Structure 1
Amino acid sequence: MKLGTIIVSQILALCMVCVAQLHPLEPAQYQRLPSLRESARIQNAWKDERVGRIPALLKKYNMDAWLMSQREHAEDTIWWSIKNATDFGAHRRTVTLFHTNTSSLAGKPNPLLWVDNTGAVWPELLNTLKTYHPKRIVLNVDRHIAFAGGLSVGEMAVLNIQLGDRWMGCTVNEPMVAVEFVASRVDGQLEYYRKMQEIVWAMLEEGFSHQVIEPGKTTTEDLEWWFRERMQTQNVTTWNQPRVSVIVESSFPGWQGTQDVIEEGDLLHIDFGITAMGLNTDTQHMAYVLRTNGTAPETDAPKSLKAGLRKANRMQDILLANMRAGLTGNQVLRMSLDQMKTEGIEGQIFSHPIGDWGHDAGAVIGFTNLPEYVPVLGELPILPNTYYSIELYAYHFVPERNETLRFRVEENAYWVAATGSWQFVRGRQERFHLVDQRKRQRTTFTVQGVS
């Protein structure tokens, strides 16, 4: 072997060993979120701060106004991000007009709001447009981006009739107004997002343990419903059903879980998130069920499994380093895949924004079915001041099983303006959750949802 090849091999091996240590040092504790009343007050303050940015956002994209019209049960996607915390649906017909606080609307309420079921809104809106005279009015009519395409066909027909060619001729499709508005966070949210992440970790540490899992009896479906029940006790909900799988070579993507009886020696995986205070999380962790019998009872996960997790952690480092604001999702994806190839890592990246929605507005970085290039959503820019779900897997051959497994991880990260970089909200998984049946035999307890 040539000297240069040896040096490169040693450097790559060192990269794998020197993965940043970001696993939390202390066990997670269940956090108490504010009361519903206090949460509503906090959420409304966040909403006001975000809405207050819209005039500057319109100017950034050379727009004069942003018009939305919706009815109860047919809300525009954006409505869910501009509503009060105590609103659970639009009322009658709700029309909102955001503006740039200039000309005849300087100092006026922003947005201007009409709630009506008689048609009185239209003469008032027309009069406002005549005095304000906007040249470019954003409508949410994009064909490709859901956050910018929430105007219903019915409301579009009504607008064509009521506003006529004069004002409909001024309407434009500028999806980045909606995308950037929904994606951008406010500073005060991070405090509570950290609490939510710690709740997630506390659930993972409890659920992936002898306290809940009895090998040979507990099923992956039992565990899924345990997580749902545990959310109830923590006064949080979810945006998708938890999915628990026993990881084998063929168990991907496992959208429905694997519905297996959990046994010693199993490698477990979960994909779930919680919802609270208008925010969402999305997390994937892995656990190992220790073999407690035989000639060599285990006290830790096998080294071959740990090596697979380290590869996934290295992929996280690579991706976060490449996620520079202004680059497109596809550019970040290409750079990361190229670096993985250089380091001899095989895997797939499918990361996405998170916040108001589990799959939030903004640039996606890969899809499970589009591993190298994503049309439209992958061509959006990485925005600062947002949250991302760093979702990916590394391939790793496990000789004891004679299988190449996917080591699947997902953690939420936030933008740090001071450094222009990303940090995990609560570290990341670098050690397997361990299920030790021997501890169960020494413990007396009752767990709701698992008999």
Structure 2
Amino acid sequence: MTLHTQNSIQILSISEQEKIMDHWLQDRLNQLLPLLMKKHNIDMWLTISKEYNEDPLAKTFFPSAIDSSRRITIFAFVSKNQSTGIKRFVISSNKKFEPFYSCYSLQDSEDSFDGLKRLVDTYDPDSIAVNTSMHYAFCDGLSHSNLEYLGKVLGKQHANKLVSSENIAIDWLQTRLDSELDMYKELESITKEIVRQTFSNEHIIPHKSSTQDIVQWIRQRVRDLGLKTSFYPTVDIQRKEGTSDRIEGTVLPGDILHLDFGIEYLGLCTDTQQLAYILSDDDKEPPAGLKSALKAANKFEDIFFEISKEGMSGNDIFLEAVKEARKNNLDAMLYSHPIGYHCHGAGPIIGLYDKQESIPIRGERHVKNNTCYALEFNIRQFIHEWNKSVPIYLEETVCFKDGKMQYFTDRQTEYYVIDPEW
């Protein structure tokens, strides 16, 4: 059954959510994982996770009936000598892992690592990928103690075969099935609907509501829907008489409200930034200068979409987009990031807010099909009505599919408008 909620937002029941996520997991294990093992030439991939100190990758392997490692759980994926597909083992007695994995039974007096040693001996892989990484937190889930003990258990015969799983792990985390991308449209629609409900006189009263009041309403609304926010939302103000670009406090007529917000649903995250304008007493619509600035921000989005091509690195896109923005007399900052299981997800960084330059390592990764991004940026434009330069912050959850960037929903091209009196 579907849980119907007020104000046009519909959230699936827990059982329906779990059915979808389990279907995705089965398809990812059957279709995606063998391709990645072959692509990265990995004979065996291990994920060793402790209860209450979960490996971020282990969480992406759990079926819905299992929510933790229960002491210790070891996933072992084997491709060596497999003509088709791979073998998927889990060293656990929990039969709810099946049919996603084969439970590898321990013999008398064996612990999980003894069983793992026996499995490694059986398949004698040339390479054993483990989750260690200097640059990506979600690829660095193997604890120091488990790494040391693993080396001891494997001994000289196998310990020197250990390699980082960073590359295969990033591809596993960032690559989305077509069915996941289809559902992402629903996630983004829900996100935008919550934004629409937020930017209304029902929840924002000029001279009374504060930025923190709005944040708390959003957080409660998301919780009431049975969802999570993908990060702690923020609301700030751009004001004609403001002393800085982003201020907090009580909302006043003539303010621009800037909301940075996302949800987590079905194991995936969204991240969006949207803008509202509080009409002044003599306003019927936002000032022409502010409307022009929003159009300039949309122009930069167009530039980003036109430039982004398959195989380009994050740094390539960043440099080309900023260069093209200058040609179009746009004062732009670009700081976009991958998104998926994690809000700041696996894949190529496209600029950083505090480093408007090429980013070593993380910016060198290439854009690939069936990956998702938070197109996050700002442009700064002089507003004649305010007699100063004003930043316009926007962000959209987008995907790269069929060789091009694509929106999941319509982007923001007009301000949400809130009346000065209610």
Counterpart of 1:434?
417
* Matches of 1:203 and 1:126, distance apart in 2: 50
In structure 2, relative to structure 1, the CA distance for the partners of 1:250 and 1:85 (3 Å cut) is farther
**Distance in 2 separating the partners of 1:222 and 1:141:** 41
Provide the residue aligned with 1:73 in structure 2. 52
Which residue matches 2:15? 37
Match of 2:231, SS state, is coil
Distance of 2:328 and 2:250 partners within structure 1: 37
TM-score, length-normalised on structure 2? 0.90
Q: Does 1:317 align with 2:297?
A: no
* Deviation for aligned residue 1:119: 4.8
Is the 8 Å Cα contact of residues 30 and 199 (structure 1) preserved in structure 2?
A: no
Q: Work out the CA distance in 1 between the residues paired with 2:34 and 2:293.
A: 48
Aligned length: 400
Partner AA of 1:63 in structure 2: I
**TM superposition shift of 1:171:** 1.2
Superposed CA deviations along residues 424-451 of structure 1, whole A, max 9, x for unmatched, are 111110000000135x3xxxxxxxxxxx
Please give the secondary structure, in 2, of the residue aligned with 1:288: strand
| Stretch deviating more after TM superposition (105-114 or 148-157) | 105-114
Kept after mapping to 1: 8 A contact 2:206/2:420: yes
**RMSD of Structure 2 on Structure 1 (CA):** 2.0
Residue 285 of structure 2 is aligned to residue 300 of structure 1: yes
Q: Distance in 2 between matches of 1:51 and 1:71?
A: 22
Q: Verify: 1:166 aligned to 2:157, yes or no.
A: yes
Q: Which residue of 1 aligns with 2:377?
A: 392
* d(CA) in 1 for partners of 2:7, 2:76: 44
Shift of 1:51: 2.1
Tell me if the contact between 1:354 and 1:387 (Cα under 8 Å) persists in the aligned partners.
Answer: yes
User: Which residue of the partner structure matches residue 72 of structure 2?
Assistant: 93
Call closer, same or farther: CA 1:184–1:109 in 2, change over 3 Å: closer
> What letter corresponds to residue 202 of structure 2 in structure 1?
Q
Percent identity reads 28
Describe how 1:243-254 pairs up with structure 2 within 5 A: 243-248=234-239, 251=244
CA contact (8 A) 2:230 2:271 kept: no
Moved more, 49-58 or 298-307: 49-58
Q: In 2, are the aligned partners of 1:33 and 1:195 still within 8 Å (CA)?
A: no
Is 1:212 the counterpart of 2:195? The answer is: no
User: 1:107-126, aligned counterparts within 5 Å?
Assistant: 110-115=87-92, 119-126=110-117
Deviation for aligned residue 1:49: 1.4
| 3-state SS of paired residue (1:98) | strand
Aligned to 2:394, the other structure's residue is in SS state: strand
Amino acid at match of 2:59: W
Query: Offset of 1:115 from its aligned partner?
Result: 2.5
Letter of the 1:39 counterpart: Q
Per-residue CA shift, 1:44-94, capped at 9, x if unaligned?
Answer: 111111122212201101211111212101221211211112332212111
Runs of 4+ in 1 over 4 A off after TM superposition: 105-109, 116-119, 248-252
In structure 2, what is the equivalent of residue 49 of structure 1? 27
Match of 1:233 in 2: 224
Q: CA deviation at 1:403?
A: 2.1
Greater displacement, 49-58 / 355-364: 49-58
Asked if 1 retains the 8 angstrom alpha-carbon contact of 2:227 and 2:264, the reply is yes
Match of 2:167 among 163, 169, 176: 176
Deviation track 1:242-295 (CA, whole Å, cap 9, x = no partner) reads 10001257655x6xxx43100000011000101111111101001100012xxx
Whole-angstrom CA distance in 1 between matches of 2:319 and 2:165:
26
> For 2:113 and 2:232, how far apart are their aligned partners in 1?
43
The yes-or-no answer on 1:275 pairing with 2:232 is no
Is the alpha carbon distance of 1:344 and 1:156 closer, same or farther for their aligned partners in structure 2, counting shifts above 3 Å?
Answer: same
Match of 1:12 in 2: none
Question: Match of 1:333?
Answer: 318
SS in 1 for 2:184: helix
- Higher RCO (CA-CA < 8 Å; seq separation 6+): 1
Asked if 2 retains the 8 angstrom alpha-carbon contact of 1:55 and 1:99, the reply is no
Change (3 A) 1:108 1:161: farther
Indicate which of 142, 152, 160 corresponds to 1:151.
142
Q: Secondary structure at the match of 2:37?
A: helix
* Deviation of 1:393 (Å): 0.3
Q: Does 1:142 align with 2:133?
A: yes
Deviations 1:344-386 (CA, angstroms, capped at 9, x unpaired): 1111001011111111100010111111111211111112111
Structure (1 or 2) with the greater strand fraction? 2
**Aligned partner letter, 1:44:** D
2:85 & 2:250 partners in 1: Cα distance? 62
Distance 2:85 2:176 in 1: 25
CA distance in 2 between counterparts of 1:124 and 1:212 reads 58
Query: Larger deviation: 282-291 or 143-152?
Result: 143-152
- Equivalents in 2 of 1:71, 1:86: separation in Å? 17
SS of structure 2 residue aligned to 1:111: strand
**How far is 1:422 from its partner?**
1.5
Q: In the superposition, relative to structure 1, how do residues 147 and 250 fare at CA in structure 2: closer, same or farther (>3 Å)?
A: farther
Query: Match for residue 9 of structure 1?
Result: none
- Counterpart position of 2:3: none
Does the C-alpha gap of structure 1 residues 347 and 76 become closer, same or farther in structure 2, counting only changes over 3 Å?
same
Query: Of 233, 250, 267, which aligns to 1:261?
Result: 250
User: How far 1:98 sits from its partner (Å)?
Assistant: 0.9
Paired amino acid for 1:178? A
Which amino acid is the alignment partner of residue 285 of structure 1? Answer: Q
8 Å CA contact 2:113–2:150 kept in 1: the answer is: no
Gapped runs of 5+ residues in structure 2? 1-5, 94-105
Paired AA for residue 270 in structure 2: T
Q: Judging changes above 3 Å, is the alpha-carbon distance between structure 1 residues 80 and 251 closer, same or farther for their aligned structure 2 residues?
A: farther
